[in-house]
Structure 1
Amino acid sequence: MLLNQLRLILTALAFLTRIPIPAWVGYADTQLNQSVRYFPLIGLLVGAILAGVYSLAILFWPSALALLLALAVGFMLTGAFHEDGLADFYDGVYGGMTVERRLEIMKDSRVGTYGVLALLAVLGLKFAALLSAPTASVPLILIAGHGLSRAFAVSFIYTHDYARSSGGKVQVVAQGLSLPALGLALLIGLLPLLWLPVSVLWLLLPLLLLRLWLARTLTSKLGGYTGDALGASQQLSETVFYLGVVALL
């Protein structure tokens, strides 16, 4: 039982990051599908690594440079997996006139104007928000933000249908999510918020508004979610979380 759960955790690690895993983990479609519940746990790990980079870098360089180094390590660690989804999502949603055309644009590897602007806006807001936060709080904010944002993205797998009939980045994991699995993902993602010196209720309110907007957009523009949409939801929720924390601090 424990070995199987460890296998699912390592499967999630391989899917969401560039970190190598042991060969004994193996691969199966059902294995990847079940590993979705641990996506927020991988987010916490990514956030912890970035927090460590920042904590070490701040000893030698100004906070702005320490933040840039941490963000750069994040890109290398995840292969800019979610950022790529954000760019494709905005290109497709705002560049196409029909559901079919939007999905077609999102499969194109090229990045358009909407995608570039979305990336610049999100990355700029993240950097500015974290730079405005108290230095001592930044590591915990990074950890909490990465865990919570993965749970936020996973929630759409439970509430929405997969938009594509075939293909896409998350076709295998788009087989539905059980309520217990969703509960575990949310528990992992929300737990670090208890250690933040802010009101959790006020922090979750803007995230709820973001989710309502995204849910409506996915339904009306795409007919469901895609891998790119999940990546966009992770990036947007992480950004909104940082902005909310800084506002409350």
Structure 2
Amino acid sequence: MKPRADMIWDIIADLRIATSFVTIFPVGSSKPAGDGAIARATWALPVAGLLVALAGAAAYAIARKLGLTPGPAALLALAATTLITGALHEDGLADAADGLGGGRTRERKLEIMHDSRIGSYGVCALILSFGLRWSALAAIANPWAVTLALASAHVAARAGVPAFMSLVPPARPDGLSASAGAPPGRSVAIAFGLGTLCLALALGPGKALVGLVLLSLAGLILARLAIRQIGGQTGDVLGAFEQISEILILLVSAAFLQAGG
């Protein structure tokens, strides 16, 4: 067993890797990120997601304090989260939509997803993503409820990524997902536990269960689609999974959380 000091430094290194991976903050670990370090650090993705959520919640609360209505405040919250992540997941969603929606062969679909240009499927996917998330936050309205919704969405959306990476093989040997490796069972379990705990605390056990069922169904459908069309998952597919999960949890939150000024 490792000494306690080494374990603490390993946890800090994982948090830094996860945060640098999903945000624009330059906090990458000083330790080498090889030998499966990224895969092991995936347990910390929900923690990094919480940081993103708090940035969005702060933007929303400040906007409301300045007298803005829920609509513009919700748009500013989305702008903050998109800025913090460098639009990483939105880019993945757009590329995955273009690739899975276009191209007749596996090779052509992967080529489209690798292309930095955005197509009609990608544009439509982004419009739907921002529109659904914006309308959900605007409907929730209350700043504290918006904070709970953003926290549960960003944490839970990233909590399922390690499981998706573990269960769905990489579509190509040279992509980002393949280089990261498959997360170990411990990382998958910790991430899932953090996501479930956040959902239960923010929405309550019953509503959290609804969210988990929806996320599981979305993950299974996307996994089946990706395996059939391109042979597995890529970094873009993972980004799409995060966005779909985030949308679903925000919609569940809008349906159940108390709206108000």
> Per the shorter chain, which TM-score range?
over 0.9
Percent of pairs with identical residues:
37
**Is 2:75 the partner of 1:68?**
yes
Matched-pair contact (CA < 8 Å) for 1:162–1:224: yes
- Which of 86, 95, 107 aligns to 1:88? It is 95
Distance of 2:112 and 2:16 partners within structure 1: 32
Report how far residue 206 of structure 1 moved. Answer: 2.1
- If the length of structure 1 is used for normalisation, what is the TM-score? 0.93
Name the structure 2 match of 1:42: 48
Structure 2 gap segments, 5+ residues each: 1-6
Q: Which moved more, 1:196-205 or 1:99-108?
A: 196-205
- If the length of structure 2 is used for normalisation, what is the TM-score? 0.89
- Which of 155, 163, 173 aligns to 1:155? It is 163
Matched-pair contact (CA < 8 Å) for 1:162–1:226: yes
After TM superposition, the structure 1 = structure 2 runs for residues 195-234 of structure 1, keeping only pairs within 5 Å, are: 195-198=201-204, 199=206, 200-234=208-242
Runs of 4 or more, structure 1, over 6 Å off, are none
C-alpha root-mean-square deviation of aligned residues, in Å? 1.5
**Is 2:27 the partner of 1:21?**
yes
After TM superposition, the structure 1 = structure 2 runs for residues 69-218 of structure 1, keeping only pairs within 5 Å, are: 69-135=76-142, 136-166=144-174, 168-173=175-180, 175-198=181-204, 199=206, 200-218=208-226
Report how far residue 64 of structure 1 moved. Answer: 1.4
Letter of the 1:44 partner, please give it. Answer: L
Distance of 1:74 and 1:186 partners within structure 2: 22
CA deviation vs aligned residue, 1:76-129 (integer Å, no higher than 9, x gap): 111100000000000000111111111111000000000000000111001011
Report how far residue 247 of structure 1 moved. Answer: 2.2
Distance of 1:70 and 1:197 partners within structure 2: 20
Count of aligned positions: 246
Report how far residue 246 of structure 1 moved. Answer: 1.8
Report how far residue 11 of structure 1 moved. Answer: 1.2
Distance of 1:110 and 1:123 partners within structure 2: 19
Report how far residue 203 of structure 1 moved. Answer: 2.5
Report how far residue 222 of structure 1 moved. Answer: 1.5
